[in-house]
Amino acid sequence: MSDARSQILGSIRRALRRDALPADKAAALEARLGDPQPNLIPARARGGAEAVVELFVQMAGNVQTTFSRVKSPRDVPGAVAEYLAGQNLPAAFAMAPDPELDAVPWAERPTLSIRRGRTEGTDQVSVTGAFAAVAETGTLMLTSGPSHPSTLNFLPETHIVVLPAGKVVGAYEDAWARLRAARDGTLPRTVNFVTGPSRTGDIEQRILMGAHGPRRLHVVLIEG
């Protein structure tokens, strides 16, 4: 394979009529990679804190994400229970083992049956946190890790995301900058940008919800 490697690199350099990049040019490219700069960011993504939250709710709503808007983490169990009841879903879910979610007083709603961990596909409902949310297209940013198994984002039919409003940013680049700042130069295995529930247009161009991923995506937005 190293043979293929050197041949491919060789044909690229022949096509570009040069050798490997000289040190100064390579250093300039390394510098570009070392300090990534945003390109053009649309104006709609540059609102203030309140504006981006409203934009997020509006854009996510446009793609069939539903919302419960609550004032404090204390209200989350009630909002979840109410949502599940409204959808005729059982009051049981798999929850990400996330310290932020553990801080929610779930015990105040003893009717909720909660299992912490990943899912093997038998759970109808999952509850997770989110790393951030991006207002410009109503997109959630979910990062995998011990506190957020990614199976929870995809296997259950209903995915509930608990999102403090402070996690909403304007543009994808803003969210990515937060991720870089939060980590020591490595990335989680997966970063999932999720914009509404799963869908397909593969049968006669008709948009049908719930192709392989969740049919319902519900955000409990904590605005306190």
Partner 1 sequence: MEATSHAFKDNVRRAIVDPGLQKALGMMKTGFQARRLAAIEKLPEFEQLRDVGRDIKNHVLENLDFYLERFERKVTEAGGHVHWCRTAEEARETILGLCRKACAKTVTKGKSMIAEEIALNDFLEEKGIEPVETDLGEYIIQLRREPPSHIIAPAVHLNKEDVIAAFHKSHTHLDPGRPMDDPHMLLDEARAVLRPKFLAADVGITGANFMIAETGSTIIVTNEGNGDLTQILPKMHIVLASLEKLVPTFEDAATILRLLARSATGQEFSVYTTVSTGPRRPGDLDGPEEFHVVLLDNGRTDILGTEFQDMLRCIRCAACLNHCPVYATVGGHAYGWVYPGPMGAVLTPTLIGIEAAGHLPNASTFCGRCESVCPMRIPLPKMMRHWREHEFERHLAPMAVRSGLALWAWLAKRPGLYRAVTGLAARVLGLLGRAHGRYGWLPLASGWTGGRDFPAPEGRTFMSQWRRRSGG
Residues 25-44 that bind partner 1 (CB under 8 A): 25-26, 29-30, 32-33, 36-40, 42-44
User: Which residue in 132, 53, 128 sits closest to 98, CA to CA?
Assistant: 128
* 68 touches 221 (CB < 8 A): yes
Place of tokens 């404090």: 72
Residue selected from 95, 214, 216, 220 as contacting partner 1 according to rule CB under 8 A: 214
**Closer to partner 1 by Cβ: residue 64 or 109:** 64
DSSP states along 110-167: TT-EEEES---S--SEEEE--SEEEGGGTEEEEE-BTTB-THHHHSSSEEEEEEEGGG
- Which is it for strands 139-143 and 132-134: parallel, antiparallel or unpaired? antiparallel
Residue selected from 196, 218, 219, 221 as contacting partner 1 according to rule CB under 8 A: 196
Residue selected from 104, 125, 127, 149 as contacting partner 1 according to rule CB under 8 A: 149
Place of tokens 């229970």: 81
Residue selected from 77, 129, 170, 197 as contacting partner 1 according to rule CB under 8 A: 197
CB of 24 to partner 1, least distance (A): 12
**Closer to partner 1 by Cβ: residue 160 or 222:** 160
Residue 46 interacts with partner 1 (CB under 8 A)?
Answer: no
Size of the site for partner 1 (CB under 8 A): 82
| 111 residue type, one letter | T
Residue 48 interacts with partner 1 (CB under 8 A)?
Answer: no
Residue selected from 68, 126, 128, 153 as contacting partner 1 according to rule CB under 8 A: 153
- DSSP conformational letter for 210: -
The window from 49-57, 71-79, 81-89, 165-173 that contacts partner 1 (CB under 8 A) reads 165-173
Residues composing the chain: 224
